[in-house]
Amino acid sequence: MAEEAKWYVVHTYSGYENAVAATIMKAAENRRMQDLVQEVNIPMETVTEVVDSQVKTVERKVFPGYVLVKMVMTDESWYLVRNARGATGFVGSANKPIPLTDEEIAALGVEKKNVEVDFELGGSVRVADGPLEGFLGTVDDIDFERKSVRVVVSMFGRETPIDLDFDQVEPVKD
CA angle in degrees (0–180, nearest 5) for 101-105-111? 135
Poorest-confidence range of 32-46, 59-73, 100-114? 100-114
HSE at residue 155, side-chain half, CA atoms within 13 A, is 11
pTM of the model: 0.63
Beta-strand ranges (E) seen in 1-147 are 6-12, 37-41, 44-51, 54-61, 66-71, 87-90, 124-127, 136-143
Residue 20 pLDDT level (bands cut at 50, 70, 90): very high
Would you state the pLDDT for residue 143? 86
Residue 130 pLDDT level (bands cut at 50, 70, 90): confident
Beta carbons of 63 and 104 less than 8 angstroms apart: no
**What average pLDDT score do residues 30-53 get?**
88
Is 50 exceeded by the pLDDT of residue 32?
yes
Residue 1 pLDDT level (bands cut at 50, 70, 90): very low
pLDDT tens for each residue of 153-173? 998 889 999 999 888 888 887
| Rg, Å, the chain Cα set | 22
Tell me which CATH code domain 2-108 carries.
Answer: 3.30.70.940
Beta carbons of 24 and 84 less than 8 angstroms apart: yes
The end-to-end CA distance of the chain, in Å, is 43
**What average pLDDT score do residues 18-41 get?**
92
Would you state the pLDDT for residue 67? 94
Segments making up each domain of the chain, as ranges? 2-108, 124-171
CA 36 to CA 78: how far, in whole Å? Answer: 10
Would you state the pLDDT for residue 159? 92
Per-chain mean pLDDT for the chain: 86
Hey, what CATH topology would domain 124-171 get? Answer: SH3 type barrels. (2.30.30)
